Structure 1
Amino acid sequence: MIMQKNLLTLGAVAWLTTFGATSQADDARCAVPPYGAPVQSFRAFVKNFGSLVPPAKFLPSICQIKYGGAERTPLYNLGFTDSDIDGKPLEDLWVEVLDAVRRLAIQTK
């Protein structure tokens, strides 16, 4: 479990570092918590995943991809489609992106 946690943290941080979406996007909802989602969803994410990934970096990036016009290639590379990105609630995307990064980290270890 600890190894998977470390892989997820490293994978998500590497993903953010490589593909940081916030620099080219501009949706104001993504600038401050709850980063475009309902407050209760934001709090649940922080409680459940905040020790794995830095919410203040990860969540705005996904928000900007969904709402702010940021480059979607990072999510395409993880297997997401425009239909997935546009059709899913933001908080579902947060969790699904973490899961996709986790699967990728396990495949490449």
Structure 2
Amino acid sequence: MTKYFALLFVVLIFCPKAFADDARCKAPPYGMSDHDFKLFVELFGHIITPARMLPAVCNVKFAGADRSGLYNLGFTDRDIDSKSVGTLASDMVVAMKKLADKVQ
């Protein structure tokens, strides 16, 4: 299951479209508060690699990166625009887990 989860993550998040990185997305806390970043790492750091996921989510939210991966998980523009990076990333982990469970 871990292999499927990792493959799904790579396919959904790292699309080859070009966009300009937002400065907030280049280093921790990736557009989040320090507290929220630490909490995210504590909660999900054993499941995913925050230094890979959070910059991608941050750039989707702030820098115009391709949103199709999030759309495929059921997120809308309103979800992406209204939620914080931490909440969006947390919801993504949950959505990917649900999707991986369906695939099994």
TM-score normalised by L of structure 2: 0.88
* 1:41/1:91 contact within 8 Å kept: yes
CA RMSD of aligned residues (A): 1.9
Question: Could you say which residue in structure 2 is the equivalent of 1:81?
Answer: 76
Mind listing any 5+ residue stretches in structure 1 that lack a counterpart?
1-5
Question: Could you say which residue in structure 2 is the equivalent of 1:36?
Answer: 31
Following TM superposition, by how much is the alpha carbon of 1:10 offset from its aligned partner in structure 2, in angstroms? 4.5
Give 1:24's match in structure 2, choosing from 18, 21, 28.
Answer: 18
Q: Encode CA deviations 1:33-87: one digit per residue, 9 max, x unaligned.
A: 0000000000011111101000110111111100111000000000000000001
Following TM superposition, by how much is the alpha carbon of 1:88 offset from its aligned partner in structure 2, in angstroms? 1.0
- Give the total of aligned pairs: 102
Alignment of 1:29-108 (within 5 A): 29-108=24-103
Mind listing any 5+ residue stretches in structure 2 that lack a counterpart?
none
- Percent identity between matched residues is 38
TM-score normalised by L of structure 1: 0.84
Give me the whole-angstrom Cα distance separating, in 2, the residues matched to 1:45 and 1:22.
26
Structure number with higher helix proportion: 1
Give me the whole-angstrom Cα distance separating, in 2, the residues matched to 1:60 and 1:23.
15
For residues 16 and 105 of structure 1, do their structure 2 counterparts lie closer, same or farther at Cα, with a shift above 3 Å needed? Answer: closer
Aligned partner letter, 2:58 = C
What's the secondary structure of 1:24's corresponding residue? coil
